Amino acid sequence: MNIKKMKGSLIGIVFIVLSVVIYALYPDDSIASRGAISAALIGLFLLFMRVNYNVPDEVTGRVIESTTASVYDILSGLHIKGKGIFLPPVGEGGSDRVFVPLHEGSDIPDIKRVYDKSVFVTDNVSKNFGLLLNSPGGGIIDLMEKESDTPFKGIGSDLMCETIKVLEGLDILDSIDADHEEGQLKISFSHSNYDENCERIRNDLQEVCEKSCCPICSCILSSFARSEGRPLQILEVKRKNKVYIKARFLDI
């Protein structure tokens, strides 16, 4: 449903009704008649004009795809296999990060040794090898905090499960539900304007969703990592009618 298009049509109807009322009240007044004709023309223009209000959303969707594709090319080119770990900002001016371990497995990296590295993480313990990137959706979080009037740092996952619904107000998602229990997080949501972009990403860039995610999923996971001040690792990302994410918090 295009709200902007509906508003334009409603305003057009108002102008047409106004023109009829003016003409009915002042049928012999030439000035009123000209005003009525002008109102009718404006109303007809607003009612039938064709403006593609979806262009900004389509541009954003394509940016999401291209950004995700660039990260995917790096991850696949370096044969990075592990599941992404979203890290909260550290210190003043720190950024939301995602660490993708080189190898897939149950060994948890030593997060303290990862935090102070840049991009390529090599260590004397192989479980700490990987790639450290800025969270693809990190910039969206500032908008989320501004819209909700809530700094996410330290608010905890329980409150974040409700606050994350601000994404609906930003018209990024149609609906989102989140549940936190015993260190595990379950999230489900439907896309608002970016469903086709999500589908193409999952078809063309397989496995990226469980590594660094697209900007939308990563902003969700980074928000929860920021709220707890703890790393959050993806366990599973799947899509049926909705997108479903499972993740777990890690202790530093």
Q: What is the pLDDT of residues 168-211, one digit of tens each?
A: 988 889 889 999 998 899 999 998 888 889 999 999 998 899 99
Residues 92 and 185 grouped into a single domain: yes
Rounded Cα distance between 204 and 185, Å, is 27
Residues 111 and 41 grouped into a single domain: no
228 close to 218: Cβ distance less than 8 angstroms:
no
Residue whose pair of structure tokens reads 């202790």 in the numeric block: 251
Q: Could you give the strand order of the β-sheet that contains 232-239, starting from the edge strand earlier in sequence?
A: 119-121, 130-134, 97-101, 85-87, 232-239, 243-249, 184-191, 173-181
User: Does residue 214 have a pLDDT over 90?
Assistant: yes
Residues 91 and 146 grouped into a single domain: yes
Q: How many CB atoms within 10 Å of residue 152?
A: 24
pLDDT at 3: 45
Number of structural domains found in the chain: 2
User: Does residue 155 have a pLDDT over 90?
Assistant: yes
User: Does residue 82 have a pLDDT over 50?
Assistant: yes
Rounded Cα distance between 67 and 133, Å, is 13
Residues 130 and 245 grouped into a single domain: yes
Domain of residue 27: give its range.
3-48
Rounded Cα distance between 146 and 168, Å, is 14
pLDDT at 249: 95
Query: Counting Cβ atoms within 10 Å, is residue 79 exposed (0-12), middle (13-18) or buried (19+)?
Result: exposed
For the chain, how many helices (H) and strands (E)? 9, 8
Residues 187 and 89 grouped into a single domain: yes
User: Does residue 2 have a pLDDT over 50?
Assistant: no
Residues 93 and 208 grouped into a single domain: yes
pLDDT at 16: 78
Residue whose pair of structure tokens reads 């023309």 in the numeric block: 41
Rounded Cα distance between 243 and 191, Å, is 8
Residues 41 and 60 grouped into a single domain: no
Residues 42 and 154 grouped into a single domain: no
Residues 25 and 120 grouped into a single domain: no
User: Does residue 1 have a pLDDT over 60?
Assistant: no
Residues 89 and 43 grouped into a single domain: no
Residues 200 and 98 grouped into a single domain: yes
pLDDT at 49: 59
Residues 70 and 14 grouped into a single domain: no
